[in-house]
Structure 1
Amino acid sequence: MRLEHLYLAGVAAVLPEVVETERAVKEGLLDPAVREASGIVSVAVAGEVPAPDLAAEAAAAAVRRSGRRPEEFAALLHSGAHFQGPDGWSPQHYVLRKALDVPIPALEVRQGCLGMLASLELAAYRLAADPARPAVLLTAADNFGTPMVDRWRASGLFLLADGAAAAVVTRDGGFARVLAVGSLSNPEMEEFNRGGEVLFPPPVTVGRPLNLEARRQYWRDQWAQGVLPPMGNLGELVADVAARTLAEAGVAMEQVRRVVHIGFSKGPLTDTFLDPLGIDADRGVWEFTRRTGHAGAVDPFSGLQYLLETGQVEAGDHVMLIGAAPGAEVTCAVLEITGDQGTS
């Protein structure tokens, strides 16, 4: 979807202290061969800090940097891939109270690791449909340090990290213009992410922890028995949605200075994002994500904040934000940096 008047006016990320993967190996948490293959040197770990508190901290910083007043916001869209607090509770309104404290709609976008990028697309629709207020606040946060997740072994694609990010999206100016944003899914791959899990009762309600790697192994075992796994390739979705979004933005891939991707381990990152996009790791943000791990929906905007604060992009540069989630679905946004954001 090509956009004419959509901007980022402020972004912020909150990433806690990291735990080195070498230490995780010494403590028996991580297999040394997995560490070596992953290329990940450290993972952000928040301890007992609740995810919504991380989100509120990031939100406050993004709002300050944007220079926007609370009464200018039309909505808050909050995302998380893991549990945020008590069952039946509303973390998005907690973040809203802490960050803005205004009586606007606050929605939770349950789109897994795509939550914040999907929220950017939803914000574009909201701001186009309702001219009353010019801004929407996006937040995302996770703390995976619960008994229901083993961050070191839950998936062979990544090591799970904690953190938060926030972005102020406006239709009347900012430090980056959003030229286009769009999503593409392959619902036939839904079964691949489900594996052999039952739908009811939901496994977590009977004390079964998250184990994405076991679901992948289920399909390896099925294939060995002659049962074909669901067909689909996430890398093909990445290439397709990137090509479409670039065309809508009127930007060639050669003009994109940096690509902000999610924090996959080295092999899956190369296969799913770098090779399909035709770029090397230096043009992505591997030097950042290999030191943080995969922080769910936080990655695209924490990666953008990293590029901004280290001065690796400047006015006139084009930046691609791209991520993926179970479904399978990919969302891509193409930005043009137009100036500096605030630093408060």
Structure 2
Amino acid sequence: MKVENIHLAGVGTYVPELVPTERAVKAGWYDADECEASGIESIAVEDSVSAPDMAIRAAKTALERSGHAPDDFAALYHSNTYHQGPDGWSSPHYVLLNTLDRPVPALELRQGCLGMLASLEAAACRLTACPDKDAVLLTTGDNFSTPMVDRWTASKLFLFADAGSSLVVSRRSGFARVLSVGSLSDSRMEALHRGGEKLLPPSITEGIPLDFDSRIQYWRKQWANGVKPPVGHFGDQVAAVAERTLKEAGLTINQIKRFCHVGFNLDPLQAMFLEPLGIEPEQGIWETSRRIGHTGVSDFVIGLERLWLSGEVVPGDHVLLIGAATGMEAGCAVLEITEAPGAELTAG
């Protein structure tokens, strides 16, 4: 979707203490060979701050940087990949109360790790269609410090990390202009992340932990018994959505200065994202993600903030945000950096 007059006015993140993967190996949490193959040096782990509270901390930073007042906002969109608190409770309204504290809609977007990109697209549509307000607040937070997730073994593609992030989407101005945003799905692959688990009752209510690897193992056994798994080439979706979104922005991939991607381990990151796009790890945010891990929805927001604050992208540069969600779905957004951070942000 091509976007007109939509900007990112503020960005904020909350990244907790980093736990070295070497420590996890010594403690027996993580296999040594898998650790070496992953390329991941450490992951962010938060033992005491909840997912919504991490989102609130990130949002307060984004709001301060944005120059927007609470009355400017039309809505708050909160995205996440994992449980936020008590069942039947509204984490978006908790975030709203502790940030804008205005009677605007507070919505939860459950689009997996693409939640922030889906929220960005929804915010652009809302600001385009409803001219009465000038901004939408996007927040996200995930905390996997729970007995129902073994962050070190639940997936061979990544290590679960904790973080919160926030963007202020504005029709006025900002540090980046949104040129286009969109996604592309292949629902035939949804069973890959369902495995052999039944839908009712939900697995979490029966004490079954989140374990993507066991679901992949299920399909390997099915394949050995002659049942073909629902496998497609996800890299084709990544390449296709990037090509479409770049075309909508009037750019080619050679005009992109940096790529902000998901925080996968090195081999799956290259196979699913970097190689389909024809780019090298140094063009992305590997040096950041290898120290933080896969934070669910916050990966590319953390990457974007660090690229901007460090001066690795400057006004006139183009940045592509690229991600994935179970389903399977790939999505991206194309940005143009329009302002450098102030001296107060880059000091120290």
TM beyond 0.5: yes
Q: What letter corresponds to residue 102 of structure 2 in structure 1?
A: V
Residue matched to 2:80 = 80
Deviations 1:209-234 (A, max 9, x none): 00000001111111111111103121
Taking the aligned partners of 1:99 and 1:273, their CA distance within structure 2 comes to 34
Alpha-carbon contact 2:309-2:341 (below 8 Å) kept: no
Residue type matched to 1:271 in 2? A
Partner of 2:308: 308
% identity of equivalent residues: 58
**Cα distance in 2 for residues equivalent to 1:51 and 1:332:** 24
Deviation at 1:340, TM superposition (A): 2.2
Paired AA for residue 264 in structure 1: F
1:252 is displaced (CA, Å) by 0.8
Q: Is the 8 A contact 1:263 1:294 kept in 2?
A: yes
TM-score of the pair, normalised by structure 1: 0.99
Q: Secondary structure of the equivalent of 1:319?
A: strand
Amino acid at match of 1:251: L
Equivalent position of 2:167 in the other structure = 167
Query: Could you say what secondary structure the match of 1:291 adopts?
Result: helix
Unaligned runs of 5+ in 1: none
Cα deviations by residue, 1:20-54 (Å, 9 ceiling, x for unpaired): 00000000100001101100000000112111111
Q: How large is the Cα RMSD of the aligned pairs? A: 0.9
2:89 match: 89
Structure 2 match to 1:14: 14
**Distance across 2 between alignment mates of 1:74 and 1:341:** 25
Distance in 1 between the 2:301 and 2:89 partners? Answer: 26
2:217 maps to 217
- For 2:328 and 2:337, the matched residues in 1 are separated by 30
> Which runs of structure 2 are paired with 1:160-199 in the superposition (5 Å)?
160-199=160-199
Q: Which aligned runs of 4 or more in structure 1 are off by greater than 2 angstroms?
A: 340-344
SS of 2:61's equivalent in the other structure is: helix
Q: How does 1:132-281 map to 2 (within 5 A)?
A: 132-281=132-281
Paired residues, number: 344
For 1:39 and 1:312, the matched residues in 2 are separated by: 23
Give the conservation status (yes or no) of the 8 Å contact 2:223–2:229: yes
* Superposed counterparts of 1:65-76, under 5 Å: 65-76=65-76
**1:341: how far off?**
4.2
The residue number in structure 2 matching 1:337 is 337
Q: Equivalent residues in 2 for 1:88-107 (5 A)?
A: 88-107=88-107
Ranges in structure 2 where 5+ consecutive residues have no aligned partner: none
- The amino acid of 1:285's aligned partner reads I
Give the whole-Å Cα distance in 2 for the aligned partners of 1:237 and 1:48: 38
The separation in 2 between residues aligned to 1:22 and 1:109, in whole angstroms, is 35
Question: Residue 308 of structure 1: CA displacement?
Answer: 1.1
Distance in 1, matches of 2:51 and 2:4, equals: 34
Secondary structure of 1:100's aligned partner: coil
- 2:178 alignment partner AA: V
Q: What SS does the corresponding residue of 2:292 show, helix, strand or coil?
A: coil
Matched residue, 2:285:
285
Equivalent in the alignment of 1:25: 25
- Give the conservation status (yes or no) of the 8 Å contact 2:311–2:340: no
Q: Secondary structure of 2:107's match?
A: strand
